[in-house]
Amino acid sequence: MMNFNAVFMYLTGMDLGTFLQHLTNGISLGSLYALVAIGYTMVYGTLRLINFAHGDVFMMTTYFAFYGVSTFMMPWYVSFILAIILTGALGMLLEKWAYRPLRDAPKISIMISAIGASFLLENLAVVLFGGRPKAFPSVKILTDSIQLGSVSIQKLTFVIPIVTVIFLVGLLYLINHTKTGMAMRAVAKDYETAGIMGVNVNLTISQTFAIGSMLAAVGAIMWGLKFPQIAPLMGVMPGLKAFIAAVIGGIGNIKGAVIGGFILGIGEIMIVGFLPSLSGYRDAFAFIFLIVILLFKPTGITGEKIAEKV
C-alpha cells in the first residue's frame, strides 16, 4: 500500500488520500447534476422542448421546503415530501399555461415561452421571498461527516448517488414497462398519431412534466442539504450545468444524462484538484466542454445517431 501510494504520488503529484477525497467530492457533485439532468432530458425527449425554467422550478422547491419547516413547523421529512409534490404541481401548471397553448406553434415560440417562464419564476421569487439568501433547514443525520482514514466524507455523499440510482431505475421501469410509459414513448414519437390511436396526449405530457419537475425537486432538496443557502437566482447555474450534463450524455437519453452528470461533476472537481491555478475557471471548463461536445459529437457520448427518446 505504501509503495502504491508513493508511485501514485510520483505519477500525479497528489497523495492517494487527497485523490480519494477529490473523487468522493466529484461523485457527490456529479450525482446532483445527474438528478437534475434526468428531468431536463425527459421533458426534451417527450416534447423536444428545452425547458429553461427547469432550474427555476428547482429553486422553488427549496423555498417550499424552507417555509414548510420554518413557517409551518413541519418535521423535515413531511416538508420535503410536500415540497416535492407541490413542485410536481407547479411543473404541470407551467406546462398547462406556458407551453400547452403553443404546442402547435413553431418550436422557437415555445422556447421563448420557456425563457419567459424562467424569468417569471425568478422575479416572482424575488417579490415573494426577498432577495436576501435564506438558510435551508439542516438535517443532522444526513449532513454529518464520517472519517475514513484520511478521507472525511459527509453522509450525504453516500445518500445522493443512491437516491440518483433509485430514481433512475424507477424511471426506466416506468418508461419501459408500464402503460403510462408506453403512452409517453408514443407521444414522444409522434403526438398527433398517438392522439388518434387513443392516447390522452394532454394527460401524458402533464405526467411527464410532473415527473420531470419532481425529479428536479428531489435534486433541489439534496442540493439544499449539501449547500444550505437558498436564493431566487440559485437555480440558474445548476440548471445550466444540468443542461450541459444532458447534452454530454445525448439530450433525450435518460441513462446518458446520468453519465453526463457524473462526467461533469468529477471533471469539474478534478480540474481544480490537479490544476489549482485554474480553480477560478471551473465554470468555463463546463461550458468549453459543452462546445467541444456540440462540435464533435452533437448527439452526445451515448453516440446514437438519433438519441433514443425517453
Partner 1 sequence: MKKVASIFVSALLVGALIATGCGTKTESPSATTGSSASGDVIKIGVFEPMTGANAAGGALEVEGIKLANKLYPEVLGKKVELVLVDNKSDKVEASSAASRLVEKEKVSAIIGSWGSSLSMAAGDIVKKAQVPTVAASATNPLVTQNNDFYFRVCFIDPFQGKVMANYAFSKLNAKRVAIVQEISSDYSIGLSKFFTDSFKELTGDQNAIVGVANYNTGDQDFSAQLTNLKAKNPDVIFAPGNFTESSLLIKQARQLGIKVPIIGGDTWEVPEFISVGQEAVEGAIFSTFFTSEKPITPESEKFLAEYRKANPGVEPAAVTALGYDAYIVILDAIKRANSADSIKIKEQLAVTKDFAGAAGMITLDKNGDAVKDAVIKQVKNGKFTYLDIVKAK
State the residues that interact with partner 1 by CB under 8 A. 14-15, 18, 21-22, 25-26, 28-29, 96-98, 100-102, 116-117, 119-120, 123-124, 126-127, 130-135, 138, 143, 145, 147, 152, 154, 227-229, 231-234, 237, 268-270, 272-273, 276-277, 279-280, 282-283
User: Minimum distance between the CB of residue 105 and partner 1, rounded to whole angstroms?
Assistant: 10
CA-CA distance, 120 to 61, in Å (whole number)? Answer: 15
Residue 279's CB is within 10 A of a number of other CB atoms, namely 10
- For the chain, where are the E strands, in sequence order? 134-135, 145-148, 151-154, 229-230
User: Minimum distance between the CB of residue 199 and partner 1, rounded to whole angstroms?
Assistant: 20
User: Minimum distance between the CB of residue 260 and partner 1, rounded to whole angstroms?
Assistant: 17
Determine the length of the chain.
310
Q: For partner 1, which is the closer residue by CB, 70 or 180? A: 70
CA-CA distance, 30 to 23, in Å (whole number)? Answer: 10
User: Minimum distance between the CB of residue 173 and partner 1, rounded to whole angstroms?
Assistant: 31
CA-CA distance, 265 to 226, in Å (whole number)? Answer: 14
Name the nearest CA neighbour of 128 among 184, 84, 66, 191.
66
Three-class SS of residue 209?
helix
User: Minimum distance between the CB of residue 309 and partner 1, rounded to whole angstroms?
Assistant: 26
Q: For partner 1, which is the closer residue by CB, 21 or 51? A: 21
Q: For partner 1, which is the closer residue by CB, 18 or 180? A: 18
Q: For partner 1, which is the closer residue by CB, 112 or 182? A: 112
Name the nearest CA neighbour of 48 among 91, 116, 109.
109
Angle, alpha carbons 191-192-196 (nearest 5°):
115
User: Minimum distance between the CB of residue 79 and partner 1, rounded to whole angstroms?
Assistant: 18
Q: For partner 1, which is the closer residue by CB, 45 or 137? A: 137
